[in-house]
């Protein structure tokens, strides 16, 4: 294990399972033996507001907050939120984003328009981008509410961590009655890869 700290920024909208995904990711990293720090911002998350989770891991991590321009992976659950946080991405950073548009209140009320072509703009700005249709894959896995776990499966292909540790973390943190479908969703995400 070298001294590099790896920074993953998770961004989404309240109700998407972003916080559960960051809990699972943190658990996986701890199981893998890393020092992990996590910070979350979710003021209006329960009302469809922005949700941001900073996850940093390495041999020794001193701060939970990812400095601007130092995120190694921007892990987006919604396109506009992903686009909004591109400035935090480092020069060689990667973007893994869900191809989903959730209309913010000003758009829903007709006061503003949802920006067009965000997936294309993200891909143009960040050569190492992967936009995934998480909802379609979650439905394929058997439950449209497992998008976050599908996306974790795709994220797992970017990190050199034993897949059994991911499965252990899912079993530990997902309620038992949803465990089987979430494990299937994780496997579905793995097949997509980055």
pLDDT score of 1:
60
Nearest to 96 by CA among 41, 170, 34, 21: 21
Say if CB 182 and CB 176 are below 8 A apart: no
Q: Return the pLDDT at 108.
A: 81
Residues of the chain with pLDDT under 70: 1-2, 42-48
Q: What is the pLDDT of residue 155?
A: 97
Helix (H, G, I), strand (E, B) or coil at 33: coil
Provide the 3-class DSSP secondary structure of residue 80: helix
The pLDDT, as a whole number, for residue 193 is 80
Q: Which domains does the chain have, with CATH numbers?
A: 6-192 (3.40.920.10)
- Give the pTM: 0.93
The position carrying tokens 């050569």 is 127
Q: What share of the chain is helix, strand, coil (3-state, %, to 5)?
A: 45, 25, 30
Local structure of residue 74 (DSSP, 8 states): E
Q: What is the CA radius of gyration of the chain?
A: 16
User: In this structure, what token pair is assigned to residue 181?
Assistant: 């479908």
Task: Give the pLDDT score at 45.
Answer: 47
What's the pLDDT score for residue 75? 97
Q: What is the pLDDT of residues 150-187, one digit of tens each?
A: 999 999 999 999 999 999 999 999 999 999 999 999 99
> Nearest Cα to 92, choosing from 77, 70, 64, 75?
70
């Amino acid at each position: 294990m070298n001294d590099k700290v790896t920074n993953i920024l998770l961004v989404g909208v309240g109700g998407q399972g972003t916080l559960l995904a960051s809990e699972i990711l943190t658990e996986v990293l701890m199981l893998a033996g890393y020092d992990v720090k996590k910070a979350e911002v979710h003021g209006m998350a329960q009302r469809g507001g922005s949700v941001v989770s900073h996850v940093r891991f390495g041999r020794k991590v001193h701060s939970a907050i990812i400095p601007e321009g130092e995120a190694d992976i921007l892990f987006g659950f919604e396109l506009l939120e992903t686009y909004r946080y591109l400035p935090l991405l480092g020069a060689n950073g990667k973007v893994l984003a869900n191809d989903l548009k959730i209309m913010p209140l000003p758009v829903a009320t007709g006061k503003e328009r949802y920006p067009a072509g965000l997936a294309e703009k993200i891909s143009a700005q960040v050569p190492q981008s992967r936009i995934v249709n998480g909802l379609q894959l979650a439905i394929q896995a058997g439950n449209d509410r497992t998008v976050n776990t599908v996306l974790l499966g795709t994220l797992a292909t970017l990190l050199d961590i034993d897949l059994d540790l991911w499965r252990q973390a899912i079993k530990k943190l997902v309620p038992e009655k949803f465990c089987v479908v979430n494990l299937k969703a994780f496997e579905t995400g793995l097949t997509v890869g980055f």
